């Protein structure tokens, strides 16, 4: 049986998401921005929390862990490289590890850049990837602890996932990201279509995620730093992709 997901809002613009295994009843919360919305989501679905899979140590992804663990006695899985900064960790994971949620299995992919130990949980059979703050819909996380080269190679790992992989990210930033992306690739038609689609979803009060890797490859400028037209469009024809990525990221940082 395939995994079921339930997406919900947390804090001001974070997303929480539950992954449920219908076969065993196991349910994982991907990160835990705050406890109350996770509990409300459990109530709404009737699912029982068994695991928390943490992507990285930032407070808006870990603030609810302790309260949830106390209440549900769930297992807390976190990246080994930053486990010391995350509360109540039971199990540390590294690149290539497999994490089970009931009968579901996630591959751990290390994606340093936003933080040095950031990991992504890829449920390959279910075609789902929980990417935290590494990749956003039409965007990527700020490069806070790593450097642009590191972030670019992490994003390439995600870009290499099967095109029909559904991506769940940690924030609703899509429309702001699209506004910026248009300054990099004004004539990208897939991007224009995503803009219309995102506006429609938000007007209906619906989230703009998940998105697929295939869609992102065609419209997300941060996954397109090695596309010659993208480099040329920002006056960097022939420059190494990591440098083009760094320039796009720098422009986004100062974009208003």
Residue 58 binding Zn ion, by CB under 5 A: yes
* Nearer CB in complex with Zn ion: 116/192: 116
Residue (133 or 247) nearer to Zn ion, CB: 133
Q: Is residue 58 annotated as a catalytic residue, yes or no?
A: yes
Closest separation in Å from C-beta 55 to Zn ion? 8
Q: Which listed range, 129-137, 175-183, 207-215, 246-254, lies at the site for Zn ion (CB under 5 A)? A: 129-137
Locate tokens 């899509």: which residue? 174
Backbone φ, ψ for residue 30 (5° rounding): -85, 115
Nearest to 186 by CA among 219, 226, 152: 219
Contact flag: residue 252 with Zn ion (CB under 5 A): no
Least distance from C-beta 43 to Zn ion, angstroms?
27
Q: How far is the CB of 112 from Zn ion (least distance, A)?
A: 12
Does position 57 interact with Zn ion (CB under 5 A)? The reply is: no
20, 21, 31, 58: which one is catalytic? 58
Q: Is 212 in contact with 164 (CB distance < 8 Å)?
A: yes
* Count of residues in contact with Zn ion, rule CB under 5 A: 2
Q: Which stretch binds Zn ion (CB under 5 A): 93-101, 126-134, 180-188, 205-213?
A: 126-134
Q: Is 6 in the active site?
A: no
Give Cβ neighbours of residue 35 (< 8 Å, ≥ 6 apart): 63, 64, 67, 68, 71
Of 58 and 194, the one with the shorter C-beta distance to Zn ion is: 58
Distances from the Cα of 101 to the Cα of 4, 21, 106, angstroms: 12, 7, 8
State the DSSP string of 83-131.
GGGSTT--EEE-TT-EEEETTEEEEEEE--SSSTT-EEEEETTTTEEEE
Options 114, 118, 126, 195, the catalytic residue: 114
Q: Which of 253, 222, 254, 228 is nearest to 240 (CA)?
A: 228
User: Quick check: is 118 catalytic?
Assistant: no
Q: Which residues bind Zn ion (CB under 5 A)?
A: 58, 133
Catalytic residues: 56, 58, 60-61, 114, 133, 171
């Amino acid at each position: 049986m395939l995994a079921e997901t339930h997406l919900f809002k947390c804090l001001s613009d974070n997303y929480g998401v539950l992954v449920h295994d219908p076969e065993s009843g196991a349910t994982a919360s991907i990160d835990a921005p705050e406890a109350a919305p996770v509990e409300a989501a459990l109530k709404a679905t009737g699912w029982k929390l068994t695991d928390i899979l943490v992507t990285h140590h930032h407070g808006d992804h870990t603030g609810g862990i302790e309260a949830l663990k106390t209440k549900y006695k769930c297992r807390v899985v976190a990246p080994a490289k930053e486990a010391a900064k995350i509360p109540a960790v039971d199990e540390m994971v590294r690149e290539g590890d497999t994490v089970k949620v009931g009968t579901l299995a996630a591959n751990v992919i290390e994606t340093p850049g936003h933080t040095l130990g950031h990991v992504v949980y890829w449920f390959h059979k279910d075609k789902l990837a929980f990417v935290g703050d590494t990749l956003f819909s039409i965007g990527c996380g700020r490069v806070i602890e790593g450097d642009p080269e590191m972030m670019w190679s992490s994003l390439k790992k995600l870009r290499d996932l099967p095109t029909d992989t559904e991506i769940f990210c940690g924030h609703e930033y899509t429309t702001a990201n699209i506004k910026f992306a248009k300054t990099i690739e004004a004539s990208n038609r897939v991007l224009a279509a995503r803009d219309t689609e995102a506006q429609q979803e938000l007007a209906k009060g619906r989230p703009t995620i998940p998105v697929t890797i295939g869609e992102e490859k065609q419209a997300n400028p941060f996954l397109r730093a090695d596309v010659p037209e993208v480099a040329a469009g920002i006056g960097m024809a022939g420059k190494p992709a990591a440098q083009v990525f760094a320039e796009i990221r720098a422009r986004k940082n100062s974009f208003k």
